[in-house]
Amino acid sequence: MATVTETTIAQKLEALLKLQTIDTNLDSIRKVRGDLPEEVRDLEDEIMGLETRLAKFQQDVADFEEQISNYRIAKKNSDNLIIKYKEQQMNVRNNREFDAISKEIELQGIEMEIADKRIKEIDFKVLNKNDEIASVESNLFERKKDLEIKQNELQVIIAESEEDEQKSLKDREKAVKTVDERLFKSYTKLRDNARNGLAVVLVKRGACGGCFSSVPPQRQTDIKDKKKILVCEHCGRVFAGVEDVIPAPEKEKKSRAKAAPKAEAVAAE
């Protein structure tokens, strides 16, 4: 029964380490792209904002022009009324009717003056708004050029690594299926919080492969045994094993052994 448990834990750790290796490879592929994807997204957001602002300004101008049109219609109506009132004034029967019509003519004249004033005010607003539109259009044109350049750069980089990335993504999809669901959730959380994206590490040269904190010898033995899942006490990363120290080549050892007597002889002289 103990052997089954050990094998199960070992398999879980092996599956986690394999997933980490694939994710690290994906990270390195995407790292080549640098900040380009983020820059492209920022430019797309900025362009969307500029287009929204441009549409609003254009709607403002359309509203202003509609107001001007309404004031011109009102002015035309007042002018027609003045003509009508003046014709009526020629046929009045007494001074009271004459004065009443004169007041109506005067009121319509004031209405025309007000309309002229409002048209001038709105014309000024239209000029200012058109200046803003020209500024936004110029800015939008430049941003779109920048976006095109960035997108082309990104497409070139993606094309160079697309095959490797797609293969790694397929490998990852398979690897995820072999990882325990609870461990996968912990793994994902650890990766999200780790700056280097490492959630599963080996003990290397007596230290954690993630935060480089020292790991006591006894704990290293426990990690090697793989009887239970152990994590770093400092960073919380999962230990998948202990990296074996590769012994020095035999030739190097022999050359050092030969060099020692010579050094002693030189010292004696």
Three-state helix/strand/coil letters over 7-33: HHHHHHHHHHHHHHHHHHHHHHHHHCC
Q: pTM for the complete prediction?
A: 0.59
- Structural tokens at position 23: 């994710």
- The string of pLDDT tens digits covering residues 62-119 is 999 999 999 999 999 999 999 999 999 898 889 999 999 999 999 999 999 999 999 9
Measured between alpha carbons, how far is 205 from 214 in angstroms, rounded to an integer? 9
Percent of the chain with pLDDT over 90: 78
- Whether 267 has a pLDDT exceeding 60, the answer reads no
| Residue in 24, 39, 25, 28 with CA at minimum distance from that of residue 154 | 39
Ordered DSSP codes for 204-261? ETTEETTT--B--HHHHHHHHHTSS-EE-TTT-PEEEEEPPPPPPPHHHHHHHHHHHH
C-alpha dihedral (70, 74, 75, 80), degrees to nearest 10: 140
Give the per-residue pLDDT at 256. Answer: 54
Measured between alpha carbons, how far is 200 from 209 in angstroms, rounded to an integer? 9
Give the per-residue pLDDT at 32. Answer: 83
Give the per-residue pLDDT at 54. Answer: 97
Asked if 203 and 243 count as a contact pair (C-beta separation under 8 A), the reply is: yes
Buried b (16+ CB within 10 A) or exposed e, 52-69: eebeebeebbeebeebbe
Q: How many CA atoms lie within 13 A of 215 on its CB side?
A: 31
pLDDT band at 7 (very low <50, low <70, confident <90, very high): very low
Give the per-residue pLDDT at 161. Answer: 87
Give the per-residue pLDDT at 31. Answer: 87
Position with higher pLDDT, 115 vs 32: 115
